[in-house]
Amino acid sequence: MGLRESKKQETRQLISDCATRLFIEQGFEQTTITEIAAAARVAKKTVTNYFPRKEDLALDHHEAFTGGLARAVTEREPGEEPLAAVGRTFRAALLDHSPVVGFTGIAFARMIADSPTLTARLRELHDQREEALAAALTAAAPDSVPAIAPLSGAALIAAADRLLFRRIQELTLAGRTNDEIEATLLPEADHLRALLAAALADDPTAMTW
């Protein structure tokens, strides 16, 4: 990374950090772009250049989030089934306490829960995550597979994924530590994965390619 690009990344991170602090202190709806720009000591235009949507300042990992399930499929090991790749990727993120799967800390989780705007935006991002997964599964499916098969597989996986994300957020708001959440979610994730495997096994065209 060159000096110019490094500087841009530093500025972006500074703006994001200042915005997050203000959102937590004041609430998302109550905080303005002008206040964020002043806190970061940059022009208001600079903030909007880096973050066209105010919600993106709070949900800064949105690109990694929306593309995460799809990447698990497209970057899976040779011969690895899509469901196995998704499960392996989620388990690694869970053990890493990644914010992409919901580990945000109680203050951040409360900020999202208290904001109708962010709650709605998070639903949109989950929808985009499912759409990206459906596209990846469709691209990976052989021509003989019915078009509905990868779409139904994506819908089932995305539903389980949303549930696990919600569980992490709920446990975070309940005051559980990340290690406690990990211990709770590991068997729950295994249970969901078994349910998905059984459901998809009933349709031999769904996810065995």
User: For residue 76, what is the DSSP state?
Assistant: P
Among residues of the chain, what percentage have pLDDT more than 90? 82
Average pLDDT score, the chain:
92
Kindly report the number of other CB atoms within 10 A of residue 7's CB atom: 11
Taken in order of first residue, the domains within the chain and their CATH numbers are: 3-53 (1.10.10.60), 62-201 (1.10.357)
pTM of the model: 0.88
Whether 36 has a pLDDT exceeding 70, the answer reads yes
Q: Residue 172: helix, strand or coil by DSSP?
A: helix
Whether 203 has a pLDDT exceeding 80, the answer reads no
How many degrees, rounded to 5, is the angle at CA 199 between CA 182 and CA 148? Answer: 115
Contact 66, 132 (CB under 8 A): yes
pLDDT range class, residue 2, cuts 50, 70, 90: confident
CA distance 76 to 133: 13
CA distance 109 to 116: 13
Whether 1 has a pLDDT exceeding 70, the answer reads no
How many degrees, rounded to 5, is the angle at CA 59 between CA 54 and CA 60? Answer: 95
Region 182-207 average pLDDT: 84
Tens of pLDDT, residue by residue over 57-84, are 999 888 889 999 999 999 999 989 999 9
